[in-house]
Amino acid sequence: MFEKSVKEICEMLDVKNDLSKFEDIVIQGVSIDTRKIEKGNLFVPFKGENVDGHQFVRNAIEKGASAALWDVNVPNPPEDIPVFVVEDPLLALQSLANQYRHQLDLKVVGITGSNGKTTTKDIVANILAVKYKVHKTQGNYNNHIGLPLTILSLPHDAEVAVLEMGMSGFGEIELLSTISQPDAAIVTNIGESHLQDLGSREGITKAKLEIVEGLKKDGLFAYYGDEPLLQEQVKELKVKHVKTFGRSEFNSIYPTKIEMNQNGSYFETSLAKGEMFFLPVLGQHNIHNALAAILIAKEFNVTVEEMKEGLKSLKLTQMRMEMVEGKKGEKIINDAYNASPTSMKAAIQLVSELEGYHTKMLILGDMLELGDKEEEFHYEIGTLIDPEKVQHVFTYGNLGSVIAKGALEHFSSERVHSFTDKKALEDELSTLIKGEELLLFKASRGMKLEEIIEGIKKS
């Protein structure tokens, strides 16, 4: 992890105060939370709407931090403990991360997209880990604070960092790309998330393509080639090394054969004819994510056999197409971490295509951050559910009820169940479960559908 003396940090930042009497103190790692301070950390205080982190600086030092940053606009910085007075602690954190990234002898892979960022991050990291010492973004540390913290946590001997990049508005991905300077970058797809902030899918595309702003001059840019908006806007970019992935044959890599079952997918690619890869993750859309990872792996000189090994041993971050068993033996697909119209359609298609189940049930909740057309998107989801392939539709939430209305275009009323109370939904669901069903749970993070899963799954 990041390890510097006070003197070295003073040389890296524009520090406004004299810290010569503390210059030999060594700092190891960075923390923004006094509850998670480790010995030797640099504590970074932020000024929030309700709480000013500067009031916890002394407490951080008492808990073992070696030093702290301090906003020049906050009066009375302490002089008896090492605090770096800087123009802005956040900018200082980002600057330290950028400089540390360049001091390490490693490659960086940056990943963004409307859906599939975390899954693709996991796949890329797992494949590359067969050959290299790899570190990846943990949890949701994918924003203007989380990404710098991830970089500053990298060990000195790290060979590859796989960094997820999230955003809610223009300029954010550009910032993250500039800080991390990726050697390779991926845009997984363009969906509808953040429409309320960016106005249109064209706007989302523009924001996601900011990832090339920090891309190394000869770095690889890989994107989902079946998306017309990406095709159109990529033409305007000044990027030399571009590859595409997707289902269509005009992509740089595409699947030539796919076989799916409840354990995952077997697929052959245009770049390795005769070689069958196994991906222990459900859904055709995840094959696309794997294709992106294969492009990166090929660029990083990973062999086909190493790729196959990395895919086969993959374990995804929880609540992303996670298969668990219910109390009565029913199979539950827990995909409740997040949702957008694009990912919701893909999940429903997956359930529709899986064979060997007498009864299939969808438990769908609100998709958030969709802007003015949110009801239209939810209604459309309901209309797309095939009553011959899905036996029951459960919805949760106010917008979920709009999915139910759409489903009623094709379903009889006794097969559509709409709720705004989780306990009532769980009770109704439990009465229908006999033990041979397949259940899909899918909604935006804020709906917390995993609470229902906890009530019905096998302990």
Whole-angstrom distance, CA of residue 318 vs CA of residue 426: 21
* DSSP-based helix, strand, coil % in the chain, nearest 5: 40, 25, 40
From residue 221, give the alpha-carbon distance in Å to each of 34, 285, 294.
39, 19, 13
Last residue of some domain: 278, 312, 346? 312
Task: Identify any residues that bridge with 175 across adjacent strands, giving them in sequence order.
Answer: none
The answer to whether position 411 is within a domain reads yes
**444 and 349 co-located in one domain:** yes
Whole-angstrom distance, CA of residue 310 vs CA of residue 123: 8
The answer to whether position 185 is within a domain reads yes
**177 and 299 co-located in one domain:** yes
Q: What is the pLDDT of residue 301?
A: 97
Q: What is the CA radius of gyration of the chain?
A: 24
DSSP code per residue over 181-229: --SEEEE----STTHHHH-SHHHHHHHHGGGGGG--TT-EEEEETT-HH
Is this structure's pTM higher than 0.95?
no
Last residue of some domain: 284, 312, 340? 312
Q: What is the pLDDT of residue 195?
A: 65
* Count of domains for the chain: 3
Of 106, 104, 188, the C-alpha closest to 142 is 188
The answer to whether position 44 is within a domain reads yes
Q: Please report, for the domain that includes residue 333, its CATH number.
A: 3.90.190.20
43: which residues sit within 8 A by CB, 6+ positions away?
30, 31, 32, 34, 37, 56, 57, 60, 61, 65, 67, 68, 69
Q: Which residues of 49-75 are buried (b: 16+ CB within 10 A; e: fewer)?
A: eeeebbebbbebbebebbbbbbbeebe
**78 and 159 co-located in one domain:** no
Domain that holds residue 8: 3-86
Assigned token pair, 226 = 């079946």
**305 and 346 co-located in one domain:** no
**171 and 270 co-located in one domain:** yes
The answer to whether position 300 is within a domain reads yes
**292 and 347 co-located in one domain:** no
Q: What is the pLDDT of residue 371?
A: 84
323: phi then psi, degrees, rounded to nearest 5: -90, 120
**293 and 342 co-located in one domain:** no
Residue-wise pLDDT tens digits, 243-294: 999 999 999 999 999 998 878 899 999 999 999 999 998 888 899 999 999 9
Q: Please report, for the domain that includes residue 8, its CATH number.
A: 3.40.1390.10
**385 and 305 co-located in one domain:** no
**307 and 332 co-located in one domain:** no
Last residue of some domain: 254, 282, 312? 312
The answer to whether position 450 is within a domain reads yes
Q: Please report, for the domain that includes residue 308, its CATH number.
A: 3.40.1190.10
Of 160, 172, 228, 222, the C-alpha closest to 197 is 172
**146 and 12 co-located in one domain:** no
- Mean pLDDT per block of 10 residues along the chain (459 residues) reads 94 96 96 94 91 94 96 94 96 97 96 91 96 92 94 96 93 96 96 71 92 96 96 92 96 94 90 93 90 98 97 79 88 89 90 89 93 92 96 96 96 96 94 93 93 87
Whole-angstrom distance, CA of residue 180 vs CA of residue 214: 7
368: which residues sit within 8 A by CB, 6+ positions away?
399, 444, 445, 446, 447
DSSP code per residue over 404-428: HHHHTTTS-GGGEEEES-HHHHHHH
The answer to whether position 99 is within a domain reads no
**308 and 327 co-located in one domain:** no
Q: What is the pLDDT of residue 41?
A: 97
Q: What is the pLDDT of residue 196?
A: 65
The answer to whether position 119 is within a domain reads yes
The answer to whether position 93 is within a domain reads no
Of 46, 16, 12, 47, the C-alpha closest to 27 is 12
**120 and 80 co-located in one domain:** no
